[in-house]
Structure 1
């Protein structure tokens, strides 16, 4: 046996001791790796994409693995995340070169999901918030996201609602997303003030305010505090007032940390079937809960826990759509019915299926109801019954 072959055999033996799985996979030209891998096709493609960027490989392989990742369910946001991380670990030049190669795909996705939309940071007083704005000529709609998430909650609803011709605004609530470094939330009135400052910055005098869960509680406060700025309300999976149990979720995070809140949140938000499939909305929500600070999480829950629109709701005369879900484990149908009954000009619609994260889990059904509501208000023919 040659010296060279002996050295090769020694290296193979060393590799087998170090990682027998990789040794077997290499010996089988990758077949065993592919058949036994547990990371899944999406993560495999994203990991390969990151490796190629790190190697400085800007040929057609980048396009191949972008397509492989998207075919396996990866979103443009996740591919953008790979680019962003590459700038840190592989260096800006390689990240920029990769961006040039991937840019056509990202542009197509952006045009498909958010045609003519700008994404920019806007100062609203004591902090900046990220804003989607399509600058359309129609009457403005503001979309307010759920607790722990950010403006991307509306990823699939936004483009559908924008087809009405409305000017559609989605932004990050104080303590969330790009507004995570804002001074800590005090109460719902403060969050209503934040929205007012944003509308002033955007030169919007009046808008239709649509909020989901925490965002719905903010919408209720905004309509009460700024009635002249509110043409209508859509309250999705939203209660009329808070409950002590909400403050307990703040206590739990302060005691056990955010990782301990992930499973409970997902179970409350989505159906078991959706969690098992692990689509983008579950992946996105999981990471948002993991990344929000305990301080911002706790402040948001406590603000919602003490919110109470019971007395003031009867003074809100604008059209109100109360949009609930039959399978919602948080804003259960009786809570939605109570909330709708408190507003003198409201209509209750219950989606089936419909969960707490309806804007993401049932986006088409939610968009359809919001469009019908918007058009009815526009045409001045909204009816409670």
Structure 2
């Protein structure tokens, strides 16, 4: 057997493996359909496109599919291929919001007609695959604008408050599990996401006033409040400030106590910038297995940290550094559900258990969950929130 034949067989093996990874069970159907008309094209697709280019590890499958759908959308006239690659993109780990971001990028460089066609096909493919896309709208606050998601309807309202450094999208995998039972509302806290560069937060009470402001503007006299990390601390403060507005309280992976590390993190960002915050933040928030997989939760969190502004980041950490809830917790008399992650390095179960002292308080630990439970254990967290809410309403 010649060297050329060996190389061709090796390229074919590489191409077949790469194609199978992207196209899955439809690989044979694709090749049979093309091969029935042109065996040369079918062979070239496997050996050249997949064997020599797509099989290279310089780009991951997710990155390649994101580039592919952008190019097909920008070119136009490739609707069949675009539809197929949108399906492949979702199958290999991209999420609807990343697809829509690609559509929006195409609008800038290839124009709106191409982007709108791409958007229509993306919407159809996502619907066929049962993928949910949650969209937030610009929402005016008393001194800044933010982004707010509101599922609407006449169910009991449930407001979700996100963690420091992230935004409302932290809840995107939890929301569809809660909307059958609640009108779910989530927004970007002051200083993050669509509320970046807003007038800086002064203290925890300032964040709580923002929650009340959102409720006022939505004409909500009461709501169930659930918060994770910083969001949980804000929920506690709101319950102390305006207990009558809080129908029930679910506190997730949060603290009521200050630690020296909070001020240190603010100063570290001011000295070293946001890129230096990626490693310490993500290793606190996730397990090693999450970081190794580099799925959407990790990609999303990494992008949030990198894009945050140092003043907003530091102001939020200084808010937690100045937290003073310890001697006030007895003032929270309304029912409270507490949820911790078993593997949480930031707010371990032992810390959160201190919040259980008092009447009408439930406590649940989600097994093997790190700090960012909403991103890694969305189903378990949604079930725990629903259980907490049902107990609180009983």
Same fold (TM over 0.5): yes
Q: TM-score, normalised by structure 2?
A: 0.84
Q: Please tell me whether the aligned partners of residues 314 and 344 of structure 1 are also in contact (alpha carbons under 8 angstroms).
A: no
1:197 match: 213
2:117 match: 97
Measure the CA separation in 2 of the matches of 1:254 and 1:119: 30
**1:146 to partner: Cα distance:** 0.7
Verify: 1:151 aligned to 2:171, yes or no.
no
Q: Please tell me whether the aligned partners of residues 258 and 324 of structure 2 are also in contact (alpha carbons under 8 angstroms).
A: yes
Q: Pick from 39, 43, 51 the counterpart of residue 71 of structure 2.
A: 51
The gaps in structure 2 that reach 5 residues or longer are 1-43
Measure the CA separation in 2 of the matches of 1:272 and 1:147: 21
Measure the CA separation in 1 of the matches of 2:335 and 2:369: 22
**Aligned with 1:143: secondary structure?**
strand
Q: Please tell me whether the aligned partners of residues 337 and 361 of structure 2 are also in contact (alpha carbons under 8 angstroms).
A: yes
Q: Please tell me whether the aligned partners of residues 136 and 168 of structure 1 are also in contact (alpha carbons under 8 angstroms).
A: no
CA RMSD of aligned residues (A): 2.0
Measure the CA separation in 2 of the matches of 1:260 and 1:298: 13
Verify: 1:359 aligned to 2:378, yes or no.
no
**1:118 to partner: Cα distance:** 6.4
**Aligned with 2:163: secondary structure?**
coil
2:157 match: 140
Verify: 1:113 aligned to 2:132, yes or no.
yes
Measure the CA separation in 2 of the matches of 1:67 and 1:221: 44
**Aligned with 1:163: secondary structure?**
coil
Verify: 1:346 aligned to 2:369, yes or no.
no
Identify if the C-alpha distance between structure 1 residues 54 and 113 changes in structure 2 by more than 3 Å, giving closer, same or farther. Answer: closer
Q: Please tell me whether the aligned partners of residues 58 and 98 of structure 1 are also in contact (alpha carbons under 8 angstroms).
A: no
Verify: 1:248 aligned to 2:268, yes or no.
no
**1:217 to partner: Cα distance:** 0.9
1:170 match: 186
**Aligned with 1:232: secondary structure?**
strand
Q: Report 1:204-219 matches (<5 A).
A: 204-219=220-235
2:147 match: 130
Q: Which moved more, 1:267-276 or 1:180-189?
A: 180-189
**Aligned with 1:36: secondary structure?**
coil
Measure the CA separation in 2 of the matches of 1:44 and 1:156: 24
**Aligned with 1:355: secondary structure?**
coil
Q: Please tell me whether the aligned partners of residues 145 and 154 of structure 1 are also in contact (alpha carbons under 8 angstroms).
A: yes
Q: How many residue pairs end up in the alignment?
A: 350
Identify if the C-alpha distance between structure 1 residues 142 and 368 changes in structure 2 by more than 3 Å, giving closer, same or farther. Answer: same
2:57 match: 37
Q: TM-score, normalised by structure 1?
A: 0.86
**1:206 to partner: Cα distance:** 0.7
Q: Report 1:190-339 matches (<5 A).
A: 190-339=206-355
2:95 match: 75
Identify if the C-alpha distance between structure 1 residues 136 and 211 changes in structure 2 by more than 3 Å, giving closer, same or farther. Answer: same
Measure the CA separation in 1 of the matches of 2:153 and 2:297: 27
**Aligned with 1:175: secondary structure?**
coil
Measure the CA separation in 1 of the matches of 2:344 and 2:116: 43
Q: Which moved more, 1:37-46 or 1:321-330?
A: 37-46
Q: Please tell me whether the aligned partners of residues 96 and 131 of structure 2 are also in contact (alpha carbons under 8 angstroms).
A: no
**1:39 to partner: Cα distance:** 1.4
Per-residue CA deviation, residues 100-120 of structure 1 (Å, 9 max, x unaligned), is 3323235567x8536xx7632
Q: Please tell me whether the aligned partners of residues 62 and 93 of structure 2 are also in contact (alpha carbons under 8 angstroms).
A: yes
